[in-house]
Amino acid sequence: MNELLLDTHALLWCLGDDPALSATARAAVLDPEARILVSAASAWEIATKHRLGRLDELEIFASRLDQLVLAADYNRLPITFAHAQRAGSYAAAHKDPFDRMLAAQAEIESLTLVTRDRAFEEFPVTTLW
């Protein structure tokens, strides 16, 4: 089974049916054999960016993310102690804590990370876009 972890932008574009989502990523997410995971880090990132005024136009995602994720039949991925330790231990210079956590989760759980962010090339993860 193909297990995919959605980066935060990919999650928002999937839920909003945004054309910014690549055709390859869209096909992978829509594959009935795929298991789609959403990290607690994405919920944290969306809430944080909304609070800071960066996602005002996406109020629905900030206020109802859990319901939207469940309605899309995606699986929630909690942050574990092991994820946190790995995210903090990467030697990569990348400073974004959300990206570091997503990389750690993708690596530890052997997930393919759906992202257009080339910063993930610094991490030992498989990406799809």
pLDDT of residue 57: 67
Q: Distance between CA atoms of 41 and 43, rounded to whole angstroms?
A: 5
pLDDT of residue 92: 84
pLDDT of residue 62: 80
Q: Distance between CA atoms of 95 and 98, rounded to whole angstroms?
A: 9
What average pLDDT does the chain have?
94
pTM score, whole prediction: 0.94
- CA torsion angle for 43, 49, 51, 55 (degrees, to 10)? -100
pLDDT tens-digit profile of 49-108? 888 887 666 777 888 899 999 999 999 999 999 999 999 999 988 899 999 999 999 999
Q: Is residue 20's pLDDT more than 80?
A: yes
Lowest mean pLDDT among 1-5, 110-114, 124-128: 1-5
pLDDT of residue 76: 97
91 and 60 in contact (C-beta within 8 Å)? no
Tokens of 18: 């945004």
